[in-house]
Amino acid sequence: MPASRIYDHSLLPHGKTQQEVSLSVMTLLYQEMIQRLYKQSDSIEHFQSKLNDVGYRLGVNVLELLNYRASVPVSIISKAKDLGNTMSNSNTVITNNSTSNAPTTSSNASTLSNFIDEFNSLGKDIPRMKRRDLQIIDILQFIHGTVWSYLFGHVSSDLVKAQGNETEYRIIDNEPQWTQFISGARNQLHYESCNYMLCGVIQGFLKESGFPCDVSAHWQPSDEQPQRIVFLIQFHQQVVAREQLRYSRA
Partner 1 sequence: MPQYFAIVGNNDCPLYETEFHGVNGKDTMPQSLKELNPFILHSSLDIIEDLQWQLQPNNRSMLSGQENNGSSLLRGSGPGGVLAGFEAGGSNLASGFLRSTSASFNNVSLGPSSSNVNNTSSSNAATQQLLKNDNCYLSRVDHFYGHVVTAYITYSGLKLVMVHCNVNGVADGTNSNNNNNSSNSNSNTFNDSNNQVMVTGSGLVSVDDAKCKKFYQEVHELYVKTLLNPFYKLGNSIDNPEFNTRVHLIANKHLRAR
Give whichever of 61 and 225 is closer to partner 1, judged by the CB atom.
61
User: How far, in Å, CA of 213 to CA of 235, rounded?
Assistant: 4
Q: Report in angstroms how near the CB of residue 242 gets to partner 1 at its nearest.
A: 7
Determine which residue in the list 102, 124, 163, 222 makes contact with partner 1, applying CB under 8 A: 124
Regarding beta strands 158-161 and 213-219, do their DSSP bridges make them parallel or antiparallel, or are they unpaired?
unpaired
Contacts of 65 (CB under 8 A, 6+ apart): 11
Regarding beta strands 158-161 and 168-173, do their DSSP bridges make them parallel or antiparallel, or are they unpaired?
antiparallel
Nearest to 197 by CA among 15, 79, 65, 27: 27
Q: Should residue 7 be labelled a site residue for partner 1 when binding is judged by CB under 8 A?
A: yes
26, 170 contact by CB (below 8 A): no
Chain positions 56 to 85 lying near partner 1, rule: CB under 8 A, are 57, 60-61, 63-65, 67-68
Contacts of 181 (CB under 8 A, 6+ apart): 27, 31
Q: Which range of residues in 27-35, 37-45, 95-103, 208-216 is near partner 1 by CB under 8 A? A: 208-216
Q: Should residue 121 be labelled a site residue for partner 1 when binding is judged by CB under 8 A?
A: yes
75, 221 contact by CB (below 8 A): no
Q: Should residue 154 be labelled a site residue for partner 1 when binding is judged by CB under 8 A?
A: no
156, 171 contact by CB (below 8 A): yes
Determine which residue in the list 39, 75, 92, 249 makes contact with partner 1, applying CB under 8 A: 249
# binding residues, partner 1 (CB under 8 A): 34
Give whichever of 8 and 45 is closer to partner 1, judged by the CB atom.
8
Chain positions 32 to 61 lying near partner 1, rule: CB under 8 A, are 57, 60-61
User: How far, in Å, CA of 120 to CA of 14, rounded?
Assistant: 11
Determine which residue in the list 209, 215, 219, 233 makes contact with partner 1, applying CB under 8 A: 209
Q: Which spans of this chain sit near partner 1 (rule: CB under 8 A)?
A: 3-4, 6-7, 9, 11, 57, 60-61, 63-65, 67-68, 121-124, 126, 128-132, 134, 208-210, 242, 245-247, 249-250
